Amino acid sequence: MVTTRHYRACPLCEAICGLELRCVDGQLTAIRGDAADPFSRGHICPKGNAILDLEQDPDRLRQPLRRHGRDWEEIGWDEAFAEAGERLAAVQKAHGADAVAAYLGNPNVHHFGHFAYLPAVLRQLKTRNVFSASSVDQWPHQLVAFAMYGHQFLIPIPDVDRTDVMLMLGANPVASNGSLMTAPGIERRLRALVARGRLVVVDPRRTETAAIASEHLAIRPGTDVWLLRALLQALQAEGPPRLAAYAGKLTGFEAALAAAATITPEQAAVVTAVPATALRRLAQALYAAPSAAIYGRMGLSTQAHGTLCQWLVQLLHLYLGQLDRVGGSLPNEPVMPVTGPGTSPGHRDRWRSRVRGLVGFSGELPVAAFAEEMATPGAGQIRALLTCAGNPVLSTPEGPAVARQLAQLDYYVAIDIYLNESTRHAHLILPPAPFLTQHHYDTVFNGFAVRRVAKLSVPLRPRAAGERGDWEIFNGLGAAYATAAGKPWRDLPEPRTLIGLGLARNAAGVTLEALEAAPQGLDLGPLEPSLLRRLETPSGAIECAPAFLMEALAALEMPRVFTQPAPFDLLLIGRRHVRSNNSWMHNAPRLVKGKPRHALQMHPEDLAHRGLQTGQQVWVRSRVGTLQVEVEASDALLRGVVCLPHGFGHGVADTRLHRANTVAGPSYNDLTDPQALDAPSGNAALNGLPVSVGALPH
């Protein structure tokens, strides 16, 4: 029998494309972009098609696995839940609540069965040692939204389809498909912008996005804070700030402007390598534009001044009068609310990490502290761990140190579909059933979309006997732990019911039944200004000068010339590819076929200066580690910058990743430094990492 279903929210990136899935006799046989989806309009990228690989992957775990030394045995679900619950409770009973930690990978926010059910388990564990991929990613965005607007998810989204001028920093959506700007088919949208207006990309590399932009400004990694401050100053030469729309809803703007706009474009140029004339031209274009939006992503966030940069982006929007304005930058007001009553606005510095005293944010600690919290003896030392859809060995700073500590844990239970570089250290693995067997509503990325959209994804096929959905695993683990720990527990209902309950709170009147009657989803129109009405700061106003940001700004000294910290003479940055999803998907044949993509890229003159040639094996050294990799020339890079993709580092013993283990390439996080942080947030400074490179002996 042939069936075709629409499953919104391909969960492999934030673009949430609508997919049309063809099934024959219950087996998924074909996938294509759903042309009738009002949001993605047929868009699909190679990762969407790789869901076929994911469904049919013989390495995918289907039953709980328990480790005995280097061997694994399949066990039943009830036995697995009971063991995990008892072991986690026993560690806490002996050593305190914080002795059990949790690490949550990025996929947790991509599926309702994780996102909506995991928090109940974390609330039961009541540990301060919660870490996630958010602190190697978007914490600066959330922290600035919390500090200025009162809620971590009141994040303004660039109105890419209606803006006239867009400034994009440290972002490559043509390769990544966008992030904190859910916009399926982003290349089409950006080309339309270039045709009607102007797209300026600031990046150390002429990326795939820069290649289609109106202008590319090559910047030294990690120096954007000086460019943004100089841009604020250059705007003052164009005219006064346009603040009329925010009257009575703004505090501290003048103080923030006076403190931040003290750098001239000429001073900034010395450090950033972006010519002062280009910056003044940019200020003119932004100020003159009827509408303008500024967007900074991974390159701007995962660097030493990520939070200051995101704050400056918001101040620039305010100066231009483009905050919460059509064509500017404005938060989505999603059908299933992520802000307002009953949601978590966030909190900062409620507790700190035990060893280094790093400030926590919104119930988590910076993952840069993860290894040391496992390694350092004393009260509160991490002795047991729960990971959910995460591979911290490849995804967090100084991965080898993390791996060494995972191997020492008293107990480690992983919710994961793979026996990978991290979960090979687990004592127990609980693998969720394929996501296509469950109802799904995208709670997170509808909230970051460039239009107001809503769609219910319905199961494509029933779960096979013996499979458990992710939501069932969280219910089962939570109940078993609560029993062992003597705590109360109530199972959450299945996803369709929970989605219905979430929708019941929406002001747009979209019901579960309405979504079930619209298999391709609903488009409720473009973004509308809502921020001023939804502010959740205690003052009820936009807080332009939060004390901790003003202090961080005051502590920042402008170098008079650009210098590299000896002995490192190069700066390392990351690189995305449309077939890559960091470490998630390298076991998918469709995504790893073709030319290798792992080489270290270096400017041809930097290669020549070192007597190196394309194809040669080199060592790359940072303060904490060394790796080996082929080098290749790329004139897309600024001189002094080298570029390596993240997510590689497979081929490790005792993993079950047959395809990934044939994929060459070292792990970027063999080099990243847990001491390199964005101070206000604790977000890891993965980009702009000082390294040196040299030839390996033949």
Q: Show Cβ contacts of residue 586 under 8 Å, excluding neighbours closer than 6 positions.
A: 580, 592, 647, 648, 650, 657, 659, 660, 663
Distance between CA atoms of 382 and 129, rounded to whole angstroms? 8
Least distance to ligand SF4, CB of residue 468, Å: 24
Amino acid at 648: F
Which listed residue (5, 6, 8, 16) binds ligand SF4 by CB under 6 A? 16
Residue with tokens 């922290």: 143
User: Which CB, 10 or 643, lies closer to ligand SF4?
Assistant: 10
Give, in order, the Cα–Cα distances in Å from 50 to each of 179, 541, 621, 650.
20, 46, 34, 19
Rounded to 5 degrees, what are φ and ψ at 318? -65, -45
Among 611, 609, 649, residue whose Cα is nearest residue 629: 649
Shortest distance, position 467 Cβ to ligand SF4, whole Å: 23
575 binds ligand SF4 (CB under 6 A): no
Write phi, then psi, for 311 (nearest 5 degrees): -65, -45
CB of 410 to ligand SF4, least distance (A): 38
CB of 280 or CB of 575, closer to ligand SF4 = 575
Inter-residue contact 322 to 243 (CB < 8 Å): no
Residue 47 or 114 with smaller CB distance to ligand SF4: 47
Nearest CA among 51, 36, 39 for reference residue 519: 36
Q: Restricting to residues 157-196, name those near ligand SF4 by CB under 6 A.
A: 177, 184
> Given the rule CB under 6 A, which of 41-49, 109-117, 210-218, 556-564 is the region that contacts ligand SF4?
41-49
Report the residue from 21, 45, 147, 473 that binds ligand SF4 according to the rule CB under 6 A. Answer: 45
Return the residue nearest ligand SF4 (CB atom): 48
Q: Does residue 542 touch ligand SF4 according to CB under 6 A?
A: no
Q: Give least dist CB 38 to ligand SF4, A.
A: 15
Q: Which stretch binds ligand SF4 (CB under 6 A): 13-21, 199-207, 244-252, 504-512?
A: 13-21
> Which residue, 15 or 200, is less far from ligand SF4 as judged by CB?
15
HEC profile of 367-428: HHHHHHHHHCCCCCCCCEEEEECCCHHHHCCCHHHHHHHHCCCCEEEEECCCCCCCHHHCCE
Judged by CB, which is closer to ligand SF4: 17, or 393? 17
**Least distance from C-beta 523 to ligand SF4, angstroms?**
17
Query: Residue 54 Cβ, how far from ligand SF4 at the closest point, in Å?
Result: 11
Rule CB under 6 A: say whether 110 interacts with ligand SF4: no
Under the binding rule (CB under 6 A), the answer on residue 365 touching ligand SF4 is no
Instruction: Tell me which of 15, 28, 61, 374 binds ligand SF4, using CB under 6 A.
Output: 15
Among 273, 341, 174, residue whose Cα is nearest residue 603: 273
Give the per-residue contact string, 200-219, with ligand SF4 (x = CB under 6 A; - = no). Answer: --------------------
Does the footprint of ligand SF4 cover residue 47 (CB under 6 A)?
yes
Stretch that binds ligand SF4, among 40-48, 288-296, 377-385, 561-569 (CB under 6 A): 40-48
Residue (16 or 261) nearer to ligand SF4, CB: 16
CB of 18 to ligand SF4, least distance (A): 9
Nearer to ligand SF4, 15 or 279 (CB): 15
Stretch that binds ligand SF4, among 6-14, 144-152, 415-423, 530-538 (CB under 6 A): 6-14
Using the rule CB under 6 A, which residue among 5, 8, 10, 224 binds ligand SF4?
Answer: 10
Contact with ligand SF4 (CB under 6 A) among 17, 100, 144, 515: 17
Instruction: Give which of 254, 255, 274 is closest to 265, Cα–Cα.
Output: 274
CB-based contacts of 393, cutoff 8 Å, min separation 6: 399, 400, 402, 403, 406, 421, 422, 649, 667, 669
Interacting residues with ligand SF4 between 219 and 258 (CB under 6 A): none
Residue nearer to ligand SF4 on the CB measure, 17 or 544:
17
CB 428 within 8 A of CB 84: yes
CB of 16 to ligand SF4, least distance (A): 6
Element (H, E) at 270: helix 265-272
Task: Decide: 559 and 272 in contact? Cβ < 8 Å.
Answer: no
Structure-block tokens of residue 37? 């989806």
Report the nearest approach of ligand SF4 to the CB of residue 335 (Å).
Answer: 19
| Minimum CB distance to ligand SF4, residue 181 (Å) | 12
Range in contact with ligand SF4 (rule: CB under 6 A) among 12-20, 403-411, 424-432, 473-481: 12-20
Residue 354's nearest CA partner among 131, 541, 199, 92 is 131
Q: Identify which of residues 185 and 674 has a Cβ nearer to ligand SF4 in the complex.
A: 185
Measured distance CA(572)–CA(601) in Å, rounded: 10
- Give least dist CB 45 to ligand SF4, A: 3
Q: How far is the CB of 494 from ligand SF4 (least distance, A)?
A: 25
In this structure, is the dihedral angle defined by the CA atoms of residues 403, 405, 410 and 415, taken in order, positive or negative? negative
Size of the site for ligand SF4 (CB under 6 A): 12
- The region of 45-53, 130-138, 433-441, 448-456 touching ligand SF4 under the rule CB under 6 A is 45-53
Closest CB to ligand SF4 among residues 4, 344: 4
CB of 40 vs ligand SF4, minimal distance in Å: 7
Concatenated DSSP letters of 653-688: TT---TTGGG-----GGGT--TT-EETTTTEE--SS
Q: Which is nearer to ligand SF4, 133 or 282 (CB)?
A: 133
Smallest gap from residue 49 Cβ to ligand SF4 (A): 8
Min CB(438)–ligand SF4 separation in Å: 17
Q: Could you please report the per-residue DSSP string of 128-151?
A: S-EEEGGGGTTHHHHHHHHHHHSS
How far apart, in Å, do the first and last CA atoms of the chain sit? 58
Region from 9-17, 284-292, 456-464, 662-670 binding ligand SF4, contact rule CB under 6 A: 9-17
For CA atoms 660, 661, 667, 670, the dihedral sign is positive
Cis? peptide before 519, omega within 30° of 0? no
Q: What is the DSSP string of 542-586?
A: EESS-HHHHHHHHT----SS--PPTT--EEEE----TT-BTBTTT
Residue selected from 6, 7, 8, 12 as contacting ligand SF4 according to rule CB under 6 A: 12
SS (HEC) of 625-662? CEEEEEEEECCCECCCEEECCCCCCCCCCCCCCCCHHH
Please report, as ranges, the residues that interact with ligand SF4 according to CB under 6 A. Answer: 10, 12-13, 15-17, 44-45, 47-48, 177, 184
